[in-house]
Amino acid sequence: MIRHAILLSFVLCSLFTSCGEKESCAADSRPKIYNPNGDSELALLMRDMFDEGMRVKEEVATGKRPLPAWDADAIFTAHATQPEKVATPEFKAYAQSFLEAARAMEEASPEDYKSTYQGMVKTCIACHQEVCPGPIVKINKMLLDESESL
Ligand code: HEC
């Protein structure tokens, strides 16, 4: 009987993925349950920012100015898989600090290219720690190796 109860709770757990940190923000998330009609605008924007971020990382590593071609301001208007997650003052504050870090990076002088790039990536991670932990493993790939002098 107890064994059945345990088994049942596992089954229920995997049906309702809210156990743990999965939800639509699971690593490399393809929102299935919440978003059967395809990926949200915000998810597409984020994926784009990751791809651009990896390109910019290569450039920064070779001493070039970090100039991402992304529409970062859309972070405030893009539709999210879970709109309630982005309709909070916390989300807006994290989004603002990300935009400011991105601007500081784009306007940095050459000796600060690497440190401002690194700072920008950390603002991606800060928001994710709060609202969407799944993709952090992926975003970590954007970080420069801290053992090099930044
Ligand atoms: C202000 C908060 C915030 C900031 C800043 C932020 N993200 Fe996100 N990110 C989210 C939210 C919320 C989602 C979930 C989007 C959805 O499913 O609609 C997400 C989703 C993602 C995803 C998963 C997309 C997919 O395939 O479903 C990746 C990858 C990602 N972000 C990377 C980044 C990168 C890289 C940066 C910085 C350049 C960044 N994020 C900055 C909140 C943020």
**11 assigned to some structural domain:** no
Q: Residue 136: pLDDT above 70?
A: yes
123 within domain boundaries: yes
pLDDT higher than threshold 90 for residue 2: no
Residue 118 CA, ligand 1 centroid: distance in Å? 17
| Residue 101 Cβ < 6 Å to ligand 1 | no
Decide if 8 is inside a domain: no
92 found inside a domain: yes
Read out DSSP for the chain? Answer: -HHHHHHHHHHHHHHSTTSTT-GGGSTT----SS-TT---HHHHHHHHHHHHHHHHHHHHHTT--------GGGGGTS--SSHHHHSSHHHHHHHHHHHHHHHHHHT--GGGHHHHHHHHHHHHHHHHHHH--TTHHHHGGGS--TTS--
Q: What is the pTM of this model?
A: 0.83
In a domain, 125, yes or no: yes
> Rounded to the nearest whole angstrom, what is the distance from the C-alpha of residue 8 to the centroid of ligand 1?
33
- Residue 81, ligand 1, Cβ within 6 A: yes
In this predicted model, what pLDDT tens digit does every residue of 103-118 receive, in sequence order? 999 999 999 999 999 9
Give residue 4 CA to ligand 1 midpoint distance, Å: 39
Mean residue pLDDT of the chain comes to: 84
Residue 29 lies in a domain: yes
pLDDT surpasses 80 at 131 = yes
Number of domains in the chain: 1
Tell me, using a 6 A CB cutoff, whether residue 122 lines ligand 1: no
Q: Ligand 1 in contact with 116 (CB < 6 A)?
A: no
pLDDT tens-digit map of 5-15: 554 454 444 43
Residue nearest to atom 2 of ligand 1 (CA): 127
**Contacts from 47-56 at CB under 8 Å and sequence distance 24+?**
49/124, 50/135, 50/138, 50/139, 50/142, 53/121, 53/124, 53/139, 53/142, 54/141, 54/142, 56/117
Confidence of residue 37 (pLDDT cuts 50, 70, 90): low
**Rounded distance from Cα 149 to ligand 1 centre (Å):** 28
User: What sign does the dihedral 34-39-45-46 (CA atoms) show?
Assistant: positive
CA–CA distance from 33 to each of 10, 24, 41, 129 (Å)? Answer: 18, 8, 16, 22
Residues 6+ apart with CB under 8 A from 35: 24, 81
pLDDT single digits (tens) 39-77 = 999 999 999 999 999 999 999 999 999 999 999 999 999
Q: What is the CATH number of the domain that holds 124?
A: 1.20.120
pLDDT at 146: 83
The reply to whether 15 falls in a domain is no
Structural domain that includes position 130: 24-142
Residue 35, pLDDT > 90, answer: no
Q: Which of 24, 132, 137 to mutate to test the pocket of ligand 1 (most atoms within 8 A of CB)?
A: 132
129 lies in some domain? yes
Does residue 47 line the site of ligand 1, with CB under 6 A? yes
Atom number in ligand 1 closest to CA 139: 35
Residue 26 has pLDDT above 80, yes or no: no
